Amino acid sequence: MKYYMVLAISCVLLIILTITDALPGDLVEPIDKPFVEYYDSKELNVITVGDWGFEGIELNQTNSNQIKVAKAMETWAVNYHSDFIINTGDNFYISFVGDHEGVTSVDDPKWDRIWKGRYKGRLAKIPWYSVAGNHDWYNNVTAQVDYSLNYDSRFFLPSTYFVRESYFGKRKTKIAWIHIDTGIFFYTPAELEEVDKVIMKQQFERFGWNNTQAIEEKLKWVEDRLIEQQNSKWIFVVGHHPLVGICAQEYYMGRLRPLFEKYRVAAYFSGHAHTLEIEFAKFGQPVTYFLSGAGSRTDERCLEEDWGAPENVLGFLHSTINDTQMTYEFVDSTTLEPKIIYKGSVFPRPYYSY
Ligand SMILES: *[C@@H]1O[C@H](CO)[C@@H](O)[C@H](O)[C@H]1NC(C)=O
Ligand SMILES: *[C@@H]1O[C@H](CO)[C@@H](O)[C@H](O)[C@H]1NC(C)=O
Ligand SMILES: *[C@@H]1O[C@H](CO)[C@@H](O)[C@H](O)[C@H]1NC(C)=O
Ligand SMILES: *[C@@H]1O[C@H](CO)[C@@H](O)[C@H](O)[C@H]1NC(C)=O
């Protein structure tokens, strides 16, 4: 009798555990152990694009914004033999009446239509190292992680926080890429009450991310990874929300810049604002802040940047990283004849802040 009761209780427990498993908060929790990549080449070529998942055609335009940017990216990827994409998030938007935000599941037709269907040639062969943007959180963010883990790891989002180490060239120069989810830092509890953020809020609650302790834990995770990566020649951080202008001050976002500066991050790559912008490293501020969020839409600039593309410019960022510097160019792909609109370079992390 007792034995059966234990068995029955175990069964119930097992069912509960299985159900909890079906709501996989753990899938989005930070992964501490770095993913490691090796490249024989003496440099790495990288395309950074964000906010690319809008498939519609905007007012007064004949060509889809996304397709124009995708075509230019493909040209650059072939010319420079790009090694991978850095995807700064907002992978799927509402593009037409009746459409939904983000993706609903791993089977959502948007995977094939908006990602695989639009980025062809070399862009369809190389990994897309990703973060989730707010529009991804407006629907099932776990489905994006699940897709990466179980369906196609070329869309690389094994969690919402993870670290990659890329080693290249004879000297095995090490780059650390720390991918972070900035949603939890950006949106105040009051903003999470807004109607478009219902699902985001629900997911935060389900994952236990709806309190300041969880936010502090994520900040601690970022700091721990930065400490761990101090032997890297380059440290780059990738997140969705920008750290220039007014965006840098939102809610807990203000805690990130001091961390990046203290631990000598070379550059931070973001999207969210549908623009191309940069804040340079300068005396007393060793980090370069890139904003590449014009992969399918355009809008106003963040302001307080050092350089920004004019309004309504679509495009992406291309960069070449070697032992001694990273050269970069912003590519305007608003027309079918893309052009470089800004060029510069960034140096590896200095030993002392300058
Ligand atoms: C679209 O074109 C119409 C007619 O030429 C013009 O009045 C309108 O301002 C344009 N809208 C935008 C967003 O460019
Ligand atoms: C979200 O995606 C996960 C992972 O694929 C799945 O288990 C879950 O059922 C989905 N949630 C909803 C509400 O569809
Ligand atoms: C977080 O969400 C849980 C589950 O809905 C709720 O019980 C808890 O009160 C929320 N915490 C805060 C700080 O809002
Ligand atoms: C790195 O790239 C820069 C800019 O193209 C070049 O001047 C420099 O010689 C390169 N360094 C190495 C070690 O290849």
Residue 24 is assigned to a structural domain of this protein: no
Location of structure tokens 């926080």:
161
pLDDT of residue 16: 43
Q: How far is the CA of 205 from the centre of ligand 4 (A)?
A: 48
> How many domains is the chain built from?
1
Q: How far is the CA of 137 from the centre of ligand 3 (A)?
A: 18
Asked if residues 333 and 89 have their Cβ atoms less than 8 Å apart, the reply is no
pLDDT tens for 242-268 read: 999 878 889 999 999 999 999 999 999
Q: What is the percent of the chain with per-residue pLDDT over 70, rounded to a whole number?
A: 90
Q: How far is the CA of 105 from the centre of ligand 2 (A)?
A: 6
Residue 7 is assigned to a structural domain of this protein: no
Nearest alpha carbon, ligand 2 atom 3: 143
Does residue 11 have a pLDDT over 50?
A: no
Measured from the alpha carbon of residue 141, the closest ligand is 2
Measured from the alpha carbon of residue 320, the closest ligand is 4
pLDDT of residue 17: 43
pLDDT tens for 21-80 read: 444 568 999 999 999 999 999 999 999 999 999 998 776 667 899 999 999 999 999 999
Residue 8 is assigned to a structural domain of this protein: no
Residue 105 is assigned to a structural domain of this protein: yes
Confidence tier at 15 by pLDDT (50, 70, 90): very low
Q: How far is the CA of 21 from the centre of ligand 3 (A)?
A: 20
Asked if residues 41 and 83 have their Cβ atoms less than 8 Å apart, the reply is yes
Mean pLDDT over 219-241 rounds to: 97
Confidence tier at 94 by pLDDT (50, 70, 90): very high
Q: What is the mean pLDDT of the chain?
A: 91
Nearest alpha carbon, ligand 3 atom 14: 210
Q: Report the alpha-carbon distance of residue 121 to residue 78 in Å, rounded.
A: 8
Q: Report the alpha-carbon distance of residue 277 to residue 271 in Å, rounded.
A: 10
Name every protein residue with a CB atom under 6 angstroms from any ligand 3 atom: 205, 210-211
CATH number of the domain enclosing 166: 3.60.21.10
Burial 153-191 (b: 16+ CB within 10 A, else e): ebbbbbbbbbbbebbbeeeebbbbbbbbbbbbbbbeeee
Residue 306 is assigned to a structural domain of this protein: yes
Nearest C-alpha neighbor of 162 from the set 228, 259, 82, 252? 228
What is the domain extent for residue 243? 30-346
Residue 225 is assigned to a structural domain of this protein: yes
Residue 289 is assigned to a structural domain of this protein: yes
What single-letter amino acid sits at 324? T
Q: State which ligand 3 atom lies nearest to the alpha carbon of 205.
A: 2
Q: Report the alpha-carbon distance of residue 45 to residue 326 in Å, rounded.
A: 10
